[in-house]
Amino acid sequence: MTEHVLSHDASTVGEIAGVRAREQRRHKASIALRYFLLAAVGLLMLYPLIWLIGASFKTNSEIFANPGFWPENPTLDGYIKGWQTSTPYSFGTFFLNTLWIVIPKVIGTAISCTAVAYGFARFDFPFKKVLFASLIATLLLPNVVTRIPQYLLFRDLGWLDSFLPLWVPSAFAGDAFFVFMLVQFLRAIPRDMEEAARVDGATTWQTLIFIVVPLLMPALISVCLFQFMWTMNDFLGPLIYISSVDKYPVSLALKLSIDTTEAFEWNRVLAMSVLALTPALAVFFLAQKYFIDGISSGGIKG
Amino acid sequence: MSGDSRFLGLFYLSPYIIGLLIFTTVPFVASLYLSFTNYNLMDEPVFTGLANYVKLFTNDRTFRKSLWVTLVYVFTTVPLKLAFALFMAVILNYKLKFINVFRTAYYVPSILGGSIAIAVLWRYIFADVGLVNMGLNLLGFESVNWFGDPTNALFTITLLRLWQFGSAMVIFLAALQSIDKTLYEAASIDGAGKWTSFVYITLPLITPVIFFNLIMQMVQAFQEFNGPYIITQGGPLKSTYLLPIYIYDEAFKRFDMGYASAIAWVLFVIIMALTLIAFWSSRHWVYYAGDKRS
């Protein structure tokens, strides 16, 4: 190929330079077009969120009159009155309830999924193939089909209107996606250190805690963060299981507030929506690396 | 570690095995049984054979409508979302400055999108005098009646899903970035244009990821609940009354557990059938580079 080009005379060299220049121009145009598209789509995507923040400081009459972000007469009215709600409880209670659902659930998920993933990735045992296949099947099994009997089970256990139905399944590695993610991660970690520890007389349990868990940390953080987000966003679970208002998490409280104040007090609902989104946004921006890594590794190896 | 007891692995798996039995397998079988009964939570379930299914398919217009709406929703939302996610991933997959900023910006909606707060926001921006119509008016268009018109109402729910294309895009982007660049150089030396390289190199190499996203998005879309429940409450004229909402209403508002289980099983069989078709067809279109999967 090179020889072929070299054997050509000067005029072809000029032509090649022309082609190069044209290519470079096209390259620049392509980059400009990409930036334009990316910025336009990005703005379109984020504007609803930006508008939401602005609108939460607007007066009720301005919300549906001004498409701009900046409030003309900024007011904290929405936040103050929205926080109090029309119930005897403030949003403070609902945030604490959400936290009280999220934290035990995340801890239970982290512990159970780590143990199970360790079992799958490092041991041979009877029915291993069948059990791993069941993990994939659970991953694809729509929850909708198990929801009603689960409800009946929790009713018979006397767990309705408590957080137990939300906590317990996760503590039994109920979220197959996370187990799967951790198994994939563990398979990629060399076993040398674990084998060395075993030779030195450590039990598998000690090996898991002192060697595997530290190595697994990045994936484990991803798992905790995803579980945090999903539980914060969960609506159907609390809707089915929680009935007293004093146990409502934020998602149910928001639904309640659109039902009760919908007709006129828009800025209260919007202000509380902003607050409801804040923890998730904050966690995401503090730890976005783990989200992106988690989702791309889980996906690629799927 | 082969010297360990054969059952040590099972010990570590025990939470999973117990959970699998109690919270998945038994409920799964129980819901099939319930679907053949009449059960109102108060009295014992009464076995009624195929009565629920017969009623569903011969004498339930709400079910037919709901099934149709669900299928329309899934078959428009999933392809649109995947196509858009792939398109944006291809644009992002380039030596650009700020690539991480854009990736983050596009990913934020997927993180927040399932929450009630976003569904609430959607109600406001698509309201008659909401943000979207204000924007359309500014550009000189007429306001659209988003929630009053059956077709538009379903479209707003679809848009909410499309808005969350970021997670699928991140997966596509990671796959695109792992493609060996020399393949494109070789192709361009052979005179292949951009489009040809995309169709004959990029697409085949990312088919495993397309397949993964397709299955995941489909299973998710069939179970969409929050959006239509909060934004349109299934209306108008049941045009956004997706099957999960129908199941919820039957089970937890009318306490007709048997009938709700039957609907859930129809939904399950549809999802299963489509998943199996996808798996079966995948051997014809999904390409694994250096196929050595175990």
* pLDDT tens per residue, range B166-184: 989 988 998 898 888 888 8
From the list B88, B173, B212, the residue facing A41 with the nearest CB is B88
Instruction: Please tell me the predicted confidence (pLDDT) of residue B35.
Output: 96
- From A53's Cα to the closest Cα of chain B, the distance in A is 10
Global pTM value: 0.89
CA-to-CA distance for B86 and B211, rounded, in angstroms? 12
pLDDT tens digit string along A192-217?
888 889 889 889 899 999 999 999 99
Highest averaged pLDDT of the listed ranges A33-47, B50-64, B230-244: B50-64
Distance, first Cα to last Cα, chain B: 21
Instruction: Please tell me the predicted confidence (pLDDT) of residue B124.
Output: 87
Instruction: Please tell me the predicted confidence (pLDDT) of residue A297.
Output: 62
Q: What is the mean pLDDT of chain B?
A: 89
Instruction: Please tell me the predicted confidence (pLDDT) of residue B3.
Output: 47
CA-to-CA distance for B166 and B32, rounded, in angstroms? 36
A34 contacts chain B (CB < 8 A) = yes
Which of B97-106, B218-227, B255-264 has the lowest average pLDDT?
B97-106
For A13-24, b/e burial (b = at least 16 CB within 10 A) is eeeeeeeeeeee
User: CB of B115 within 8 A of CB of A251?
Assistant: yes
CB < 8 Å to A94, chain B = none
CA B128 to chain centre: 28
Instruction: Please tell me the predicted confidence (pLDDT) of residue A300.
Output: 38
From the list A126, A230, A258, the residue facing B6 with the nearest CB is A126
Instruction: Please tell me the predicted confidence (pLDDT) of residue B164.
Output: 92
CB < 8 Å to B88, chain A = 38, 41
A162 contacts chain B (CB < 8 A) = no
Q: From its phi and psi, is residue A186 left (phi > 0), alpha (psi between -120 and 50) or beta?
A: alpha
Q: Is B94 helix (H, G, I), strand (E, B) or coil?
A: coil
Sign of the dihedral through C-alpha B161, B162, B163, B169:
positive
- From B20's Cα to the closest Cα of chain A, the distance in A is 7
Q: Do A284 and B244 touch (CB under 8 A)?
A: no
Token pair belonging to B48: 């009624």
Residue B4 has pLDDT above 70, yes or no: no
Neighbours of B191 (CB within 10 A): 7
CA-to-CA distance for B134 and A43, rounded, in angstroms? 16
pLDDT tens digit string along B188-197?
888 888 888 8
- From A198's Cα to the closest Cα of chain B, the distance in A is 8
A183 contacts chain B (CB < 8 A) = no
Which amino acid appears at position A194 of this protein? Answer: E
Predicted ipTM of the assembly: 0.89
Q: Which of A31, A172, A204, A261 to mutate to test the interface with B (most CBs of B within 10 A)?
A: A172
Q: What is the mean pLDDT of each run of 10 residues along chain A (302 residues)?
A: 48 75 81 87 90 90 82 88 87 95 96 95 91 91 92 95 96 92 89 88 90 91 91 94 95 89 78 93 86 63 32
Q: Which superfamily does CATH assign the domain made up of B50-285 to? A: MetI-like (1.10.3720.10)
Instruction: Please tell me the predicted confidence (pLDDT) of residue A1.
Output: 41
pLDDT tens digit string along B124-147?
899 888 889 988 988 889 888 998
Question: Which segments of chain A does DSSP mark as H helices, in order?
Answer: 2-6, 10-55, 60-63, 77-84, 91-122, 128-140, 147-156, 164-171, 176-187, 192-199, 204-207, 213-233, 236-241, 250-261, 266-286, 288-300
From the list A38, A52, A191, the residue facing B102 with the nearest CB is A38
From the list B103, B215, B248, the residue facing A140 with the nearest CB is B215
Instruction: Please tell me the predicted confidence (pLDDT) of residue A3.
Output: 44
Which amino acid appears at position A275 of this protein? Answer: L
pLDDT tens digit string along B98-127?
888 888 889 899 888 889 999 999 988 998
Token pair belonging to A295: 């989702």
A233 contacts chain B (CB < 8 A) = yes
- From A227's Cα to the closest Cα of chain B, the distance in A is 11
Q: Do B264 and A128 touch (CB under 8 A)?
A: no
CB < 8 Å to B226, chain A = 235-236
From the list A67, A118, A284, the residue facing B108 with the nearest CB is A284
Residue B267 has pLDDT above 50, yes or no: yes
